Structure 1
Amino acid sequence: MKNKRIRLKEHILIIDNEESIIIVNKLAIKISKTPNSVNFLNKLKGGASVSDLQYCIGTTAANILIEKLYNNEALIEEWDNNYSHEFYSKQLYYFEQFNENPNLLQERLCNARVAIIGLGGVGGLILQNLTASGISNFVLIDYDQVEIDNLNRQYIYSKESIGYNKIDVAQSYINSINSEAKIITYKKLINSSRDLSEIFYDNKIDIIINAADTPIYIGNIILDFCKKNNIPFLSGKVGISKGTWGPLFNKEIYDQDFSIIDETTLNKYIKRNPIKGSLGATNSILSSFMSYDILLFLMGIIPKSLGNKCIVDFNNLSITTESIGKNISV
């Protein structure tokens, strides 16, 4: 324990007054300002062994303060950034808040395989966020071509993309950021579980993300397939005043007692086509929440949407959750 090297996390706020020093994370810890305490804190900022810290202010005082800082989630074991030359290197310091070596969390992202169905206003933005986070193994599914009216919310496309397949432009976008990415594309409209079986029969996937809105019951088709094949799944969609995502399903959630509303029932009660009104800002809000939950899940951290439907109200900026029910439609 004495040779264990620890340091303050990168994001910890330190308020240095004339008579005291306040260390702020979830709580504020106030210590008297003395030459010894300043030396203790300076060593802790750069990383030090417990024995070095004990030497600064005494064994008992150091142990008490170290325990308080650990309880305040202000400390982390010293680590070197193995990804310091990568474009996503700074996010590893953000990962310090999760109390695990950030290198291990990033490694999980780099090794993850993600499928995205639908590369429009939600799917394209999720693709941007995941690519920027270092995920480089993708299966992309979309049947559409880029059109002029996509450009208000689908930021991976430009005027030069109009008329080209979305899957091809999306692949080029990923490669422009990460030339070593491994990408499989399918120009396909998903109408049944059989369509998914043809794609994923030998593809190991860590999560399937649904960002498509056609046909109207596509979320249920994918959920049924994922449940039968025990593949984690998350779906989301944007309305006029609200957006929803989740529940995020994994084996634990699939084992709960629920049934998926069948296509016949949905067709009976839902008559409208996907809404025409769509704003880039609201697509971005919903996609960012989804992306964050996906990243947490892939790193092994429980996201808010695991087993919960999340609803964001764009007008009052509130978020509510609903636990999984007996009958589900996504």
Structure 2
Amino acid sequence: MASRAAAAVLVLAALICAAHSSVAAEGLSRGFHAASCPDLENIAGSLVAETFRRDVGVAPALIRILFHDCFPQGCDASVLLTGNNSELNAVPNQTLRPVALDLIERIRAAVHRACGPTVSCADITVLATRDALVQAGGPHFDVAFGRRDALAPASQDLVDTLPAPSFDVPTLISSFGNRSLDVADLVALSGAHTFGIAHCPSFSDRFTPNVDLNPLIDPLFARRLRAKCAKDVPQGTVNQTLDVRTPDVFDNKYYFDLIVRQGLFKSDQGLIDHPDTRLLASRFALIQSAFFRQFAKSMVKMSNMDLLTGTQGEIRLNCAVPNKRVEGIETAKDDGHTAAM
């Protein structure tokens, strides 16, 4: 009887946790576009699948865009804006891949053709990222809708808060903590490096086998990287996969890389050494389902940070341009839609 009672308590606790993790942020709901754009998810899913078939790299590219959008000032599609003061001109964003930026805009255009300008670029970015993650073998997570688009890019000071590949673990914990993301979020979201590519300038510090300055790296791996990057002329033209085992698949092999000292970034390799992150990184290496559960939870948490909802911001008519700059349209109202739409 006692064991049954204990089991019942565990089941109830699990249900409560699951319910809590699925609660949408204020102003968002899964059915937000159900009436205004019932075919939204089919349109987005079709275009994502088509693009993924041509270029599997679109999946990690979308996750990186979403992270670089959400982390500075919230998930408001500000990173998509072009112009002299855009976030895209900032150093951390100069390698965001055009194929993913173009996909977001193509989805926006298709959705607006079908439904009118009712779905924001911010909502589309989260939805496209989720669908691409699933295409690559990653976990599904429910997307709540209702985000609005920023009228202007994030400031340089906010963009500078993006974590760098050279960060050590204490700096990463502080950086994520400043955005209300905890250690579990840090370790799980770092696992996005289980696919995708990097350029030599972002990991050249790993060639220095100095344990005081850098987590230990497999010597053969370091030699291979050094030789490869010696050919990086002009700089930034050589690509290196972030995960040397299954570079195009979303799985837990990234954490195996860390165990055998083949983490590409200092920020990655440190996770297996630091006492605050070691156990969780090791657990994710052993149990992929545990990694997937936490990654999905952390993606929902990140995609709900500091949102514009209600009458804030706008629904952009072009993801790269605020409505007041869209050619031939002074404001969204000029197109027959109120600014609060």
Larger Rg computed on CA atoms:
1
Compute the TM-score of the two structures, normalised by the length of structure 2.
Answer: 0.27
Q: Which has the higher contact order (CA 8 A, sep 6+)?
A: 2
Compute the TM-score of the two structures, normalised by the length of structure 1.
Answer: 0.28
When you count strand as a share of all residues, which structure comes out higher?
Answer: 1
